[in-house]
Amino acid sequence: MAEEEQTKSKRRIRKVETVREQSEKSQQPQKTSPARAVWRGFTAPLRFVGRGLRKAGQKLGKYKFFRVLGRILWPYYFRNSWAELRQVTWPNGRLTRQLTIAVLLFALVFGIIVALLDIGLDKLFKEVLLK
């Protein structure tokens, strides 16, 4: 009996990766899906233009006229919003899917509960008030 309890309660400990293993794992080429490759092909020109604009902005930012013009054209609210968005740690795709499914299931269950309560109270009030 005691042996059965020990085998049931035996904990499995996962091996922790060393820094070297993590480094080797990160250096291995990542497999990209065909959809991601197509998307990267569509967005490549936009990234190219964005990098060019960033470099031009850095060079022109040395001159006071362009800094003032930038503050006029790009208001305080948008600058602060962009700074906040850069600090956000975004979830990966798997976690995003899991959280989306959880929200949809919660909404579905909550909707069913509200619908059942509505139908039940409707019948109750019709029986009590209309008779």
Separation between Cα atoms, residue 16 and residue 22, nearest integer Å: 10
What tens-digit pLDDT sequence spans the chain (131 residues)? 555 555 566 777 778 888 778 777 777 676 777 877 788 887 888 888 878 877 887 787 787 777 777 777 778 888 888 889 889 888 898 999 999 999 999 999 999 999 999 999 999 999 888 87
Examine the domain organization and report whether 83 and 45 are in the same domain.
yes
Please tell me whether the overall predicted TM-score, pTM, comes out greater than 0.75 for this model: no
Please enumerate in sequence order all residues whose Cβ is within 8 A of that of 57, keeping only pairs 6 or more positions apart, or say none: 70
* Total number of residues shown for the chain: 131
Whether residue 99 is contained in a domain is answered as yes
Whether residue 11 is contained in a domain is answered as no
Please enumerate in sequence order all residues whose Cβ is within 8 A of that of 32, keeping only pairs 6 or more positions apart, or say none: 40
- The distance from CA 65 to its chain's CA centroid, rounded to whole angstroms, is 38
Q: How many domains in the chain?
A: 2
Whether residue 23 is contained in a domain is answered as no
* Residue-number span of the structural domain to which 65 is assigned: 40-88
